[in-house]
Amino acid sequence: MNHVVIIGFMGSGKTRVGKQLSKDLGLPFVDLEKIITKRMNLSAREIFERFGEPYYRALETLALKQLIQDSERKVISLGAGLPLQEQNEKYLRELGTVVYLKGSLATLKKRLEGSKKDPMLDGEDRDDKIKKLLKQRDPVYQKFADIQVTTGEVPFEELIKEIEEKLSTYEKNGSEHKTKEDNKMISAGDFRNGVTIEIEGNVCQIVEFQHVKPGKGAAFVRTKYKNIITGAVLEKSFRPTEKFPQARIDRVDMSYLYNDGDLYNFMNTETYDQVALTKEQVGDSLKFVKENEVVKVCSWNGNVYAIEPPLFVELEVIETEPGFAGNTAQGATKPATVETGAQVMVPLFVNQGDKLKIDTRTGEYLSRV
């Protein structure tokens, strides 16, 4: 179903924007958080406090799946943490056209000042938490975005106009990039982070881009992209009208079974077919992955080029220097070895046997669980 789906960080204005789009487009507005809180007769904070974050995330997934079945087109505002949950990826891609409200760190800090709504920001060092969470979440939001706009820099009316114009253009051209990726051509003017294209016979992923309009001369798109086969990162400028074939990338859910020395064995979670990959193909992508964990095996033209572990994992500490109560020196860390054998820098109070939440993209300790 082609709903209009609003995503973004806390304080990005998802509800306000969603309600205005609903009014302008003549579509019903749905706030996913309101569905959950009404069903539970509790606020989001109360659900977090009574049942924990995993329970709340499960409620989000259930509500998301139900919305996919809804035949009436709607404008839907999603919770800030929903896109980060691995199990929601396929549902979010099926839901409709995704609009990402991207806010700067300064804008979001100002909007969230004094807010006690979100339990993810509880405790001291609130500004640091916002900065850290935004750094983790922004690449995920960009990955899902069909349309991206910047909130907080122009008047609200102009922001709505920009979104509605982009929605009109997107829908006029069709959403082939979700269903017909084989023949899709992407112009440099439509680049966004995470898009995969073919450049001179190589499959490349956009890492960073910037639209430049010099005082004299033609506009161009300054682009940083990575060759996903070799890993090489290149920088080049393109005319906004230059077009490139979108690379067909297959990303398949597979369970990591075991390593027998030279080969790493995986099983397709749907067909149960098994494949064996070399150490060179796997690289260090499994450093935080336990056996039987589900990962995404990425391939291009049948050739595996990457393994994507879950964004976040929970692992037990098997070795570290003893911590002690009250040892909370600001910023002080020590090394800890987790059950996969990987090493993570952790706060001094962490002990052997503690279970940690880790960001697999950066290898950073996030919290104890």
- Return the pLDDT at 123: 67
pLDDT tens, residue by residue, 91-139: 888 888 999 999 999 999 888 887 777 777 776 677 888 888 888 888 8
Kindly indicate the confidence band of residue 230, based on its pLDDT and cuts at 50, 70 and 90: confident
Give the closest residue to 31 by CA, choosing from 57, 5, 51, 9. 5
Q: Looking at the predicted structure, is the pLDDT value of residue 344 above 70?
A: yes
Average per-residue pLDDT for the chain:
87
pLDDT tens per residue across span 11-33? 999 999 999 999 999 999 999 99
Average pLDDT over residues 291-305: 85
Q: pLDDT tens digit string along 47-104? A: 988 988 889 989 999 999 888 888 889 999 999 989 888 778 878 888 889 999 999 9
Distance (Å, rounded) from C-alpha 263 to C-alpha 258?
9
Average pLDDT on 291-299 reads 90
What is the number of other CB atoms lying within 10 angstroms of the CB of residue 90?
13
For every residue of the chain, which 3-state class applies, written as one string? Answer: CCEEEEEECCCCCHHHHHHHHHHHHCCCEEEHHHHHHHHHCCCHHHHHHHHCHHHHHHHHHHHHHHHHCCCCCCEEECCCCHHHCHHHHHHHHHHEEEEEEEECHHHHHHHHCCCCCCHHHCCCCHHHHHHHHHHHHHHHHHHHCCEEEEECCCCHHHHHHHHHHHHHHHHHHCCHHHHCHHHCEEEHHHCCCCCEEEECCEEEEEEEEEEECCCCCCCEEEEEEEECCCCCEEEEEECCCCEEEECCEEEEEEEEEEECCCEEEEEECCCCCEEEEEHHHHCCCCCCCCCCCEEEEEEECCEEEEEECCCEEEEEEEEECCCCCCCCCCCCEEEEEECCCCEEEEECCCCCCCEEEEECCCCEEEEEC
Whether pLDDT at 218 is above 80: yes
Residues above pLDDT 90, as percent of the chain: 42
What is the CA 303 to chain-centroid distance, rounded? Answer: 24
Q: At what angle do helices 32-40 and 44-51 cross, to 10 degrees?
A: 60
**What pLDDT does 222 receive?**
93
Q: What is the pLDDT of residues 157-198, one digit of tens each?
A: 999 999 999 998 887 765 444 444 444 688 898 888 778 888
pLDDT for residue 178: 45
- Residue 231: pLDDT over 50: yes
Cα dihedral value 188, 191, 194, 197, nearest 10: -30
pLDDT of residue 269: 86
Q: Map out the domains of the chain with their CATH numbers.
A: 3-176 (3.40.50.300), 180-245 (2.30.30.30), 249-308 (2.40.50.140), 312-368 (2.40.50.140)
pLDDT (0 to 100) of residue 330: 65
pLDDT above 90 for 317: yes
Reply yes or no on whether the pLDDT at 324 is more than 70.
no
